[in-house]
Amino acid sequence: MLESLVQDERLSVYVSEVTQTAKVTIYDVSRGGAGVARLESGQVVFVPWTDVGDEVEIEYKLSDERFLQGHPISWIKYGPGRIEPKCPYFGRCGGCDWQHLPYDRQWQIKLSGVAHALGRQGVIFQALKEFPAEIQWSYRNRAQLRGRGQQLGFFARGSNTFVGVDRCDVLDERINSLLPTIGQEAAAKFTGPYKAEVALREHGSVDWAFNQRHSALGFQQGHPAQNRHLKAWVARNIQGRDVLIDLYGGNGNLSAEIAGRFQQSHCVDVSVPEHIPGNPLVFHRSDVDRWLKRHAESFKGRTTSVILDPPRAGLGATIQLLAPWMERNGTTEVVHIGCDADAAARDISRLTKLGFALKDCGVVDLFPQTAHVEVLAYLVR
């Protein structure tokens, strides 16, 4: 295994403007996915696809920054916990971070990363509800693929370098089985590079579209089994019966099944489906900030329950609109779902400073083999 990795060109796919090499020993794995080492200068360097105890020759760009990004050239020695990656494209395609780590290690890194992020923001919690992935391979029901002729694949991390693949081990096999068909159809349509969005539907069919905007086939959580845990957690916590507001709600993934509990239920996002007759969930195709301004006091005198599932960067400046909106519209409980631990911890901290108390907090793994994690928080006042 060592010799094949040392000589495999995938280890230097991402290297650009490299000006220095060094031999380092990995002493930790960051919640961002990369191994952590320290140069003789004292600078911390992050090295992807490494594990604790790995001795690695790396390349990096000279900089005065405290934290550097390194790229592995060769392994001198493997740490004791490393395993053989399942996928032959691991380290070339830009998808997986951790196929070289056993899943229980992946999960513990995610848990400790979330706890650390919350602690840094001063968020006090009793315990984290744990929802590790029971299905760790062949789980993903959607993908954004790139193509050249009949060959489908992905971009290498941080670049537009095309990496062709025959299959993807985290994709559902029903999608993998159709990759040749999709590639053949695309080759008949396009002479140059293209994008293919592929989605597995709940009833088992597979749809695809070429060169459309992101999520043109509609957004859906990528891990159906884990998504059921996520929705069940939301349903158990939400207690209100008056007005439900699902902000950044997409297709109503978190709110559709509980909408009937409320007198009114609204889902707001820039991309929502058309309203379905008989569905108690009312969709609003709008930017969240614009919707909050337009409905500044629409629910005054009522009590509102709010679901927040913001982009990776978190609520950001939207909290400045949301805070007075919740005060005016009687918000008694908030569910916050965050896909970045640091951003989620900041949002949760800001909500507690608005008078909300954190009642339940959890971690759900929607993306095994990667460093991505969902942070769950239920707050009341």
pLDDT in tens, 63-95: 888 899 999 999 999 999 999 999 999 999 989
pLDDT in tens, 345-361: 999 999 999 999 999 99
Of 214, 260, 200, 250, residue with least CA distance to 230: 250
The pLDDT of residue 9 is 45
Q: Give yes or no for residue 227 having a pLDDT over 90.
A: yes
Q: What is the mean pLDDT of residues 327-343?
A: 97
Count Cβ atoms within 10 A of the Cβ of residue 361 and give its class: 0-12 exposed, 13-18 middle, 19 or more buried: buried
Q: CA–CA separation, 103 vs 94, rounded Å?
A: 19
pLDDT in tens, 261-289: 999 999 999 988 877 677 889 999 999 99
Q: Give yes or no for residue 2 having a pLDDT over 50.
A: no
Measure Cα distances from 134 to 70, 87, 88, 223 in Å. 32, 19, 23, 11
Q: What is the mean pLDDT of residues 10-16?
A: 46
The pLDDT of residue 5 is 46
Q: CA–CA separation, 221 vs 217, rounded Å?
A: 12
The pLDDT of residue 271 is 86
Count Cβ atoms within 10 A of the Cβ of residue 107 and give its class: 0-12 exposed, 13-18 middle, 19 or more buried: buried
Q: What is the mean pLDDT of residues 129-140?
A: 98
Q: CA–CA separation, 130 vs 135, rounded Å?
A: 15
Domain 224-380, CATH: 3.40.50.150
Average pLDDT of every residue of the chain:
93
pLDDT in tens, 16-67: 454 799 999 999 999 999 999 999 999 999 999 999 999 999 999 988 888 9
Of 183, 249, 178, 175, residue with least CA distance to 210: 183
Cβ(47)–Cβ(17) under 8 Å? no
The residues facing 152 across adjacent strands are 147
The alpha carbon dihedral of 370, 371, 372, 373 has a sign of positive
pLDDT in tens, 180-220: 999 999 999 999 999 999 999 989 999 999 999 887 887 78
Q: Where in the chain is the domain with CATH 2.40.50.140?
A: 2-82
The secondary element (H helix, E strand) that includes residue 236 is helix 224-237
This prediction has a pTM of: 0.91
Place of tokens 């032959």: 88
Question: Strands (DSSP E) along 116-193, which ranges?
Answer: 129-131, 142-148, 151-155, 162-164
Q: Where in the chain is the domain with CATH 3.40.50.150?
A: 224-380
Q: CA–CA separation, 379 vs 3, rounded Å?
A: 52
As a whole-number percent, the residues of the chain with pLDDT over 90 amount to 86
Query: Distance between terminal CA atoms of the chain?
Result: 56
117's tokens: 């992020």
Measure Cα distances from 15 to 18, 251, 285 in Å. 6, 39, 42
Q: What is the mean pLDDT of residues 127-139?
A: 97
C-alpha angle with apex 105: 103 to 106, nearest 5 degrees?
A: 65
Residue 269 burial (CB count, 10 A)? 22
Angle between helix 103-120 and 341-353 (nearest 10): 30
Strands of 151-155's sheet in order across: 162-164, 151-155, 142-148, 194-200, 206-210
Cβ(357)–Cβ(125) under 8 Å? no
The pLDDT of residue 62 is 86
The pLDDT of residue 17 is 58
Q: CA–CA separation, 77 vs 90, rounded Å?
A: 19
151's tokens: 């060959």
Q: Give yes or no for residue 229 having a pLDDT over 80.
A: yes
Who has greater pLDDT, 276 or 369? 369
Superfamily of structural domain 2-82: Nucleic acid-binding proteins (2.40.50.140)
